[in-house]
Amino acid sequence: MRLASGLFSMVIMALCMNGEVMAGNLEKKATFAGGCFWCMDAEFSGVKGVSKVVSGYTGGTLVNPTYEQVSSGTTGHVEAIEVTYDPAQVSYQQLLDIFWDNVDPFDEYGQFCDKGSQYRAGIFYHDEEQKRLAEASKEKVTTKFKQSVATVIHPASVFYPAEDYHQDYYIKNKVRYKMYRYGCGRDERLEELRSK
């Protein structure tokens, strides 16, 4: 009995001392598509409670797609981000609020200057609670703007990380990123939506 109790204490101590193990058990995933994944990455990185944002592809059937393949618009995949977060620090609802604040929910053809099915906006839920919150948040946007929302809500499927040069692009290529974002009219359209 004393041996079992001692082993149990050692396991608890190891878990408490190893923050990675504990955090790994608490963290959840959220997946969003909002046009260019560089821009979505920039909006979610640095949010308290978000430990990782990965740019990638999801929603299609092609295994291990490349940027060129997804860009063709023929794979069924969208550019997306996978957010790893601690729900004790940031709620899924807060992540949804960030998402809606950074997309044009009415554009059924893509986002901003990026057009095509690979740039459509979407929420990919990982469980029933995320689905419920996503659907409620979409209804709230519809009611607020009194307009039909084109953003799709689908169950999460396989997420394929994009090539390394796409990860943290807004940090690695600051000037090119800012030029792209400005030239795409993203901030101008978002400001227009936020003022309504």
Structure-block tokens of residue 196: 């309504």
Measured between alpha carbons, how far is residue 142 from residues 51, 101, 196 in Å? 31, 14, 13
Q: How far apart are CA 138 and CA 144, in angstroms?
A: 10
Q: How far apart are CA 185 and CA 112, in angstroms?
A: 6
Strands (E), 66-189: 78-85, 110-111, 114-115, 121-125, 152-155, 159-161
Out of 16, 36, 113, 184, the active site residue is: 36
Is residue 38 within 8 Å of residue 170, measured between CB atoms?
yes
Region of 105 please: left (phi>0), alpha (psi -120 to 50) or beta. Answer: alpha
Residue 113 among the catalytic residues: no
> What phi and psi, each to the nearest 5 degrees, are found at residue 148?
-70, 135
Nearest 10 degrees: Cα torsion 192, 47, 146, 126: 140
Residues labelled as active-site residues? 36
